Amino acid sequence: MAAAQLVKFSWPLGAGLVRSPTLAALIDDHATPIINHLDHPPAAGTRSRSVWHAPDDSSECAALLLAADTLLGHHSQVETNLRDRVQPLARAAFERIPANVAAAFRRMQFSPTLARALARKVNGFYHTGGHPHSKLRAPSRECLFSAEHVPALLPSTWIDAHFTTLLDRVGPITAWNTRHLRRAASLKLVEMAAGGTWPECAEALGTPWNTAQQTLKILKRVLAPTESWEMFDNAVDQVACALDSDVLRIDYARRRHALASWQLPDAQWTELCDGLGKFRNAPTSPSPKAATALVWAEVTQGDYLHSPALNALRQHGQGTKHLVSAVNQIRASDVRRGDKTELLHRINHYASRLAFACDQSQSTVLVS
């Protein structure tokens, strides 16, 4: 039904779907009056004819259904080929039909495969043009994993394993740009598993809308050549394949939920600092709040800048500069030696035990 309407609304663009001039003429007899009506709508107040009805003539109906069947192709064909056939017709149809007809079309019953082919993309992500109806939320890939198995930042080990070809092409990029690459890859994985636009994918990961928008702007500059976007898609698909085959997938959504209001207990902070030199009591010195943000980021594989510890300060109208500096002091120690380096190692070890507690659904996540 949807494919037949697409052929009709975009006619005569889809004339090549039927090789017989006789069949094309039959479709033309049915479609031309409807196209004329759409291209030259009646004046306001005039009764409008229906553009949805099927052909009354059985031959015309058969010809239209044959064109629709050819458009859809066979199930064994690659989805990319279907998208290549559907997109030109979809663009032509949506440029022609009025908003109310377009909205009704989007509410039609689509198979997931056709929904993926119909969905418009901008820079590799779904774009629904302000109409996020459920049929256009179809996952962009058949996945065995779900959105819950995707962290907000793709782990660096996954980047190292699957993105080398892309990184070799675009050349050296900064650590900050790599962070945006990790975030964009996670957004794409959610789209693959759950569908939706990138703002909806960001919401699923707990990523602020403006942060996701900035990430895609930066990624657009880094991956300016079309071939680079294709490499990005291929790399994320490799990650998706790895997740599909992983029988021990991590539920990162459960970890985020478990640690939504968690804070490092004072006793655990004392234990983490045991035997280390006493840190200065300055606002930017290592602190329980800084450790809380780092543990949260490690357990959830999220961005510490969006951790509950920093979000709480923002919600109360307080600045985050000092806490961010304290976190970065500990993170920077990873390339040096000393008490802060040892503290970072202890924090990471503590985080691994806390992650295990979250995954085991233990009643408490206070790891001793």
Q: Is the pLDDT at 79 greater than 70, yes or no? A: no
Question: At which of 114, 136, 160 does a domain end?
Answer: 114
Domain boundary among the residues 229, 249, 269 is at 249
Which tens digits make up the pLDDT trace of 171-191?
778 888 899 999 999 999 998
Whether residue 153 sits in one domain with residue 105: no
Burial tier of 36 (Cβ tally within 10 Å: 0-12, 13-18, 19+): exposed
Q: Is residue 120 part of a domain?
A: no
| Residue 127: strand pairing partners | 120
Q: Please state whether 173 falls in left (phi above 0), alpha (psi between -120 and 50) or beta.
A: beta
Task: Check whether residue 195 and residue 270 sit in a common domain.
Answer: no
Lowest mean pLDDT among 128-142, 188-202, 276-290: 128-142
Answer yes or no: do 7 and 102 share one domain.
Answer: yes
Residue that is last in its domain, among 68, 99, 114: 114
Q: How far is CA 124 from CA 184, 197, 249, in A?
A: 10, 11, 25
Tens-digit pLDDT profile for residues 280-305: 888 889 999 999 999 999 999 999 99
pLDDT at 368 over 50: no
Task: Check: CB of residue 2 under 8 Å from CB of residue 108.
Answer: yes
Q: Which two tokens stand for residue 63?
A: 């010809």
Query: Which helix (H) or strand (E) is 116 found in, with range?
Result: helix 112-118
Whose structure tokens read 């880094």? 222
Residue from 54, 58, 50, 65 nearest 18 by CA = 65
Question: Quick check: is 45 in a domain?
Answer: yes
233, 270: one domain: no
Contact 218, 187 (CB under 8 A): no
Q: In this prediction, what percent of the chain has a pLDDT beyond 70?
A: 88
Same domain, 6 and 51: yes
Helix axis angle for 308-315 and 288-300, nearest 10°, is: 120
Instruction: Answer yes or no: is 186 within a domain.
Output: yes
| In-domain check, residue 61 | yes
More confident residue, 315 or 224: 315
Rg (CA), the chain: 27
Report the alpha-carbon distance of residue 271 to residue 67 in Å, rounded.
72
Q: How many structural domains comprise the chain?
A: 3
Could you tell me if residue 200 is inside a domain? yes
pLDDT value of residue 129: 42
Element (H or E) spanning 121, and its range?
A: strand 120-122
If DSSP codes are grouped into helix, strand and coil, which group holds residue 148? Answer: helix
The answer on 273 and 236 residing in a single domain is no
Amino acid at 223: L
Domain that holds residue 335: 255-359
- 260 and 276 in a single domain? The answer is yes
State whether 85 and 169 are in the same domain: no
Same domain for 216 and 266, yes or no, is: no
Residue 264 is assigned to a structural domain of this protein: yes
Residues 276, 243: one domain? no
| Average pLDDT over every residue of 49-61 | 88
Specify whether 265 is located in the same domain as 332: yes
Contact, 71 vs 89, CB < 8 A? yes
d(CA 299, CA 303): 11
Is 121 inside any structural domain?
A: no
CA distance 190 to 154: 11
Taking the model in full, what pTM does it have?
0.73
Determine, yes or no, domain membership for 136: no
Q: Are residues 266 and 238 in the same domain?
A: no
